[in-house]
Amino acid sequence: MSGKPRLTYLNGRGRMEPIRWLLAAAGVEFEEVYLETKEQYDKLIKDGFLLFQQVPLVEIDGMKMVQTRAIMSYIAGKYNLYGKDLKERALIDMYVEGISDLMQMILTFPFSPPDAKEKNLEAIKERATNRYFPVFEKVLKQHGQDFLVGNKFSWADVQLMEAILAVEEKVPAVLSGFPQLQVFKTKMSNMPTIKKFLQPGSPRKPPPDAHYVETVLRVFKK
Amino acid sequence: MSGKPKLFYFDGRGKMESIRWLLAAAGVEFEEEFLETRDQYEKLLQGGSLLFQQVPMVEIDGMRMVQTRAILSYIAAKYNLYGKDLKERALIDMYIGGTDDLMGFILMFPFLSAEDKEKQRAFVIQKATSRYFPVYEKVLKDHGQDFLVGNNFSWADVHLLEAILMVEEKKSDVLSGFPQLQAFKARMSSIPTIKKFLEPGSQRKPVPDDKYVETVRRVLRMYYDLKAN
């Protein structure tokens, strides 16, 4: 074994993308195995790799970890991106969970029926601009620091950066009412590990397309 | 302020029930404020108490915490129910992820049409018996210990007990193929704090009924049109 974490998922964003972001932001190199066929997936289950028969799967430090949140918490804890004490953790957890709710809408979007797409896009825009982005705009404005929690780079910053870019792909001018978030986005983009992840050739995956949707439906067909 | 955590939610299970369970299991007394009217909810919103405009909200240690998972993690860590190190935490988090997904299928139950309720009930039982219960049965069998992780009572045990009882409410003999889980259930139910929580008069909430559904819909103006999985 190489010692690097090994990620097993489809060759696309889905539920694995926040994990790729976090590892990359922490400067951790990782390997990836891509599921392309139902047979591959069935074999993983048969061989006992998937605790609840689901991916993401991340093999890390001798564990076969599943459950996105569990994986992210472990990585954040291991690489000191989880605050300095219980209260900072609590803030980071609250922010991450909120962002995760927003990202859930983006996650399911490609799978919405064609006649629901416009409504769902509008819902993403509404939630981002009225519920989630104002919270982080206010947090940054109130303490005036570069990072969301404890004046230190954390999991919350990585997650917010990912969400901003993901929403911008759908709603290009979404940050126009959020000057703090615009500054935050620029600062995050210039952090060396994130800058590298944003360059072509990195493990970052492109927005989901029809081929990705087709692969998901095929691999996980009952 | 009394110093006790204060829970803001409807007078019913929903997403707050796991929090009640964990506090109770940890032996922590708590107060509750029940949302009954739209006005109460709007007042909370206007007062800026709800970070993402949602409940559950728990006032604890000077914080107004929201997001169920964040609240549970904080309580688990504070009361030493989160394992002794990062790897035990990882196991607990994975197990919680499973029971959370399972209980999530039950969460929407009261909001479904009669026909969808039947479909969902079958779905829950199928997932419980083929995907989730076998995992915990095996964990307990493999290490032969009383608790899921690290031979120590943790959040994962509380969550699993809660999930077992919830699924049993849908099918009373659902544990018939799971002897380890039956023994686990008996052991957990005998733990003093949990035993107390399982007695009438505790803050444990009953199975949600139509009145609960009607209150949630009235207060949140949501969840009118949920479908089965």
ipTM: 0.96
Flag if B89 and A78 touch (Cβ within 8 Å).
Answer: no
Topology (CATH) of B86-191: Glutathione S-transferase Yfyf (Class Pi); Chain A, domain 2 (1.20.1050)
User: Are A166 and A21 spatial neighbours (Cβ–Cβ below 8 Å)?
Assistant: no
Note the pLDDT tens digit of each residue in B92-131.
999 999 999 999 999 999 999 999 999 999 999 999 999 9
β-strand B6-9 against B31-34: which pairing, if any?
parallel
B122 touches chain A (CB under 8 A): no
User: Are A174 and A133 spatial neighbours (Cβ–Cβ below 8 Å)?
Assistant: yes
How far apart CA A72 and CA B5 sit, in angstroms, is 28
Q: What is the dihedral sign for C-alpha B184, B189, B192, B193? A: positive
Is the pLDDT reported for residue B23 higher than 90?
Answer: yes
User: Are B34 and B60 spatial neighbours (Cβ–Cβ below 8 Å)?
Assistant: no
Beta bridge partners of B58: B7, B65
β-strand A6-9 against A57-60: which pairing, if any?
antiparallel
Residue B229: the pLDDT is 86
- CB contacts of B57 in chain A (<8 Å) are none
For residue A100, give both structure tokens: 């995760």
**DSSP for B84-153, written as a single string:** SSHHHHHHHHHHHHHHHHHHHHHHTGGGS-HHHHHHHHHHHHHHIIIIIHHHHHHHHHHH--SSSBTTB-
Topology (CATH) of B6-79+198-220: Glutaredoxin (3.40.30)
Note the pLDDT tens digit of each residue in A91-132.
999 999 999 999 999 999 999 999 999 999 999 999 999 999
For residue A17, give both structure tokens: 């993308």
Answer yes or no: pTM beyond 0.95: yes
- Give chain A's contact residues with B (Cβ, < 8 Å): 51-53, 61, 63, 65-70, 73-74, 77-78, 86-87, 89-90, 93-94, 96-98, 101, 131-132, 135
**Nearest chain B Cα distance for residue A130, angstroms:** 9
- Choices 3.40.30.10, 3.40.630.10, 3.40.710.10, 3.40.50.2000: CATH for A6-79+198-220: 3.40.30.10
Note the pLDDT tens digit of each residue in B142-164.
999 999 999 999 999 999 999 99
- CB contacts of B96 in chain A (<8 Å) are 67, 70
Within this chain, domains B6-79+198-220 and B86-191 share the same CATH topology: no
Q: Quote the longest CA-to-CA distance of chain B.
A: 52
Within this chain, domains A6-79+198-220 and A86-190 share the same CATH topology: no
For B74, the closest of A51, A73, A86 (CB atoms) is A86
Domain ranges of chain B: 6-79+198-220, 86-191
Residue B63: the pLDDT is 97
Note the pLDDT tens digit of each residue in B37-90.
999 999 999 999 999 999 999 999 999 999 999 999 999 999 999 999 999 999
Domain ranges of chain A: 6-79+198-220, 86-190
Flag if B69 and A52 touch (Cβ within 8 Å).
Answer: no
CB count within 10 Å of CB A127 equals 17
Is the pLDDT reported for residue A139 higher than 60?
Answer: yes
Question: Quick check: bond before B56 cis, omega within 30?
Answer: yes
**Nearest chain A Cα distance for residue B60, angstroms:** 11
Residue A39 CB contacts under 8 Å (≥ 6 apart), including other chains: none
For residue B52, give both structure tokens: 């993402």
User: Are A90 and A68 spatial neighbours (Cβ–Cβ below 8 Å)?
Assistant: no
Flag if B98 and A52 touch (Cβ within 8 Å).
Answer: yes
User: What is the CATH number assigned to the segment(s) A86-190?
Assistant: 1.20.1050.10
β-strand A63-66 against A57-60: which pairing, if any?
antiparallel
How far apart CA B12 and CA A60 sit, in angstroms, is 40
Residue A134 φ/ψ region, left for φ over 0, alpha for ψ in the -120 to 50 degree band, beta for the rest: alpha
